[in-house]
A and B are shown apart, each in its own frame.
Chain A
Amino acid sequence: MVKKEVEKLLKKVQKPARYTGGELNSVVKDKNNVKLRYAFCFPDNYEIGMSHLGMKILYSLVNEREDAWCERVFAPWEDMEALMRENNVKLYALESGDALSEFDLVGFTLQYELSYTNVLNMLDLSGIPVFKKDRTSLTPIIIAGGPCVCNPEPMVDFIDIFLPGEGEEVTNELIDLLIEHKEKDSTRLEFLREAAKIEGVYVPEFYNVDYNEDGTIKSVENIETAPASVKKRIISDLDKVHYPKDFVVPFIDVVQDRTVGEVFRGCIRGCRFCQAGFIYRPIREKSPETINEQCRSISNATGYDEISLCSLSTSDYTNIERLIPMLFDWALKENINVSLPSLRVDNFSDELMEELKKVRRSGLTFAPEAGTQRLRDAINKNVTEEEVLRTALKAFDGGWTSVKLYFMMGLPTETLDDIKGIADLAQKVVDTFYRNPNREKGKGVQVNVSCASFVPKPFTPFQWEAQDTADMLIEKQKHLLSSTTSRKISISYHQSDTSVLEGVLARGDRRLGEVIYKAWQKGCKFDSWDEFFDFSKWREAFNECELTTEFYANRRRTYDEILPWDHMDYGIRKEFLVEENKKAHESVTTPHCRIKCSACGANKLNGGKCDARN
């Protein structure tokens, strides 16, 4: 419920329905009847945050409890923020309209590094001190989860507790513990000491970090009740774990506004650049019956006319050929469309293609990631040019006329020849279209090449690599443009400065807390939005802290250097990553997990089980 003073502001802002709450299926409870209030914060705007599956899962998980109430909070857009500051309105949760400072747990999901300044801004807008050292009462406890938590170090000054891994179980354990300590009227420290004993809970103030003179880490020492390394949590059985029966249905158009069926977690592929491919291991699948049932329930409860299947690589799902007809059976009758993102080119079967033709046709996307076979081998993207072209031909036969190709630039071992290879491959796709006698007549082909800048990430085989500088990336972008001759090919790429900052924050250490704070004070927020991103402010902040972006982004680390995230345990053995790194430099591939287990170590998190080997 929005308070009267906020309602006045809403008449003056764009898209006021971002700030009203009251959406269908949102959960309103009586605050006097719950023991704990949890504010789930997404540090970006409503449209982005409301698209996030993790938030939907945890929202309904916490609200299933009678003793707790979970509400949603998003970063207000700049027009709203200005009015809030001007009128002294505190950032509030959408369900109750109450300020964040009234909550017991304030949880942020850290999905991408460029949202960090928004975390500080949201705390500040709530009237909660941004530095954890300035927060002295038991509540609110500020927690954070999400993929970035695999290296939480840059954010340790602001967050009390990080939850590496999957949140379904540990969230409930932490809520139970905080309720207990609220009733006992414990101090903050007493609570944190007990919290640190829970598996998968990282309390950063219980770790002391020492640095060498060259700025690298000398030692990390655990104190109090903290373990030497924090093991991420995983859910063992995805058929049994909580999944929402409904979703909150936004009034305004959000990015992902549809039923989402989660298919599996983890990935069998082991592409060496891909953090998600490692940090979500081991692979665990849901049964097609579970997925079908969950999609049906959410579709009924929301009225959505689209279902999207969600995983890192949906065609790797072992039961895809059973699941698709099961879903189509009822969905098409009810005018519900089914979309399958994240399909790979190498296992796209004819049957699947036939099934997909039944639904509305969207664009077709392939991700060869690199332009030459040598580089694709180095990054372990086990896709050949022949496979790409064969699938493109199949798609053109099926009536598609537009293809999106995803690539990266700035990959380790990359040369300008590899960049030219991107243009060459795109040209071959164009040629494939025109050589195909069965192509859609009277239509041209459109090949959209999207080129992201590679950012080395923790827990990948490339975690030791030097990232390309902005100048190197710009040179490569120019080379790609000059290598492209056809007007059927359009090229787009990312701003290179944002990739540099992303790289710095991804592999940063604790000293970056001060930089993030200073950048935020200078006005940095919504850094992932081109219209807000201001690298000059970040540069000033680095200078004032006597730190450089080069140290974090462009420096090749040695295998024996202590990395800022070494005390986080994601199951993956470091020796395995070293082996993979060496193989990358020799352009030697590693077969995927169903062909051969490479003993990455992640199965130890699941009692030795891994669905790639059942």
Chain B
Amino acid sequence: MPEIKKWAMDVRMSFEKTGMAKFISHLDTVRCITRAMKRANVPIWFTEGFNPHAFLTFAMPLSLGFESLCETVDFRLTEEMDLTELSKQIDDALPVDITVKKISVPHMSPNEIRWAEYKIIFNNPDELLLENAHSILSADEILVEKKGKQGRKKVTKEVNIKEHIRTYELEENDSKLTLKTVLSSGTSININPMLLIGALTKNTNTDEQDVDIIKVKSYTENMEIFR
């Protein structure tokens, strides 16, 4: 048996992915951060398999086109380090629109994530959307088409996402409509805000693509901020 190399520290890096970085897909983000670690000479722990690679665990993949203020990635260090210094080092090696907020010792497991808060801005809402948004959100049922699989077959089914919307708040200014909402998130149930946007813009003339989506925070079951 080969000797298994130990690591010295488990750490969690929180970072923001904003601006043009929203157009970097999840897999490309993983590669981008891996390379940044290499450039910054971070003593990151590599897997021991046939094909060793940097061991990185992202809490939740972020959809292409979304900005986020609350991304996290966990990794291991092979030596003890000053984490403030380390976060500066990595930040310098990252492209401008990905910013390290801090690196700390993780308190919770990514499995504990249950809710996510989003800020959704409709840049050009039409009259119909402005009129109907409230009543759609406050109705007992919010039906959306969710893509899924039945065995190998791809199917779309209609589901009610009402119980997955914990809170919402609508605000209109500068001819824009902003929706702040907390949706189910995590490994078991995850509601993509695009579903809600689809339900709101359906039967209106609002372009569902002309929307800015920002993930603001992740929470546990008890609405503790994930950290």
Contacts and interface: CB of A to CB of B under 8 A. Distances in A.
Interface in A217-264: 249, 251-253
A23 B28 CA distance: 12
Contact of B24 (A2, A8, A17): A17
B35 interface: yes
A264 B111 CA distance: 53
B20 A22 contact: yes
A21 B39 contact: no
A11 B208 CA distance: 10
Nearest to B93: A303
A305 B19 CA distance: 27
B93 to A, nearest CB: 7
A435 interface: no
Contact of B46 (A8, A252, A335): A335
A12 B211 CA distance: 12
B90 to A, nearest CB: 11
Secondary structure class of chain A's binding surface, majority of residues: loop
Contacts of B64: 16
Nearest to B208: A11
A10 B210 CA distance: 10
B32 A251 contact: yes
A300 interface: yes
B35 A304 contact: yes
A453 to B, nearest CB: 36
Contacts of A300: 39
B35 A249 contact: yes
A301 interface: yes
A253 B28 contact: yes
A548 to B, nearest CB: 46
Interface string B136-153: 000000000000000000
A249 B98 CA distance: 14
Contact of A303 (B19, B38, B65): B38
A20 interface: yes
B39 A2 contact: no
A184 interface: no
A21 B95 contact: no
Interface string A45-83: 000000000000000000000000000000000000000
Contacts of B38: 303-305, 334
Nearest to B95: A24
Nearest to A23: B95
A334 B44 CA distance: 11
A441 interface: no
B96 interface: yes
B95 A303 contact: no
Nearest to B40: A303
Q: Which of A10, A12, A303 has the most CB of B within 10 A?
A: A303
Interface in A15-53: 16-17, 20-24
B52 interface: yes
17 contacts: A2-B20, A8-B209, A8-B210, A11-B210, A12-B209, A16-B64, A16-B65, A17-B23, A22-B19, A22-B95, A22-B97, A23-B95, A251-B95, A252-B24, A303-B37, A304-B35, A335-B46
Closest 8 CB pairs of A and B: A303-B35, A303-B38, A16-B23, A303-B39, A20-B20, A11-B209, A251-B24, A17-B23
Given A300-B39, A334-B38, 11 more contacts: A2-B20, A12-B209, A22-B21, A22-B97, A23-B95, A24-B32, A24-B35, A251-B32, A251-B95, A252-B28, A305-B38
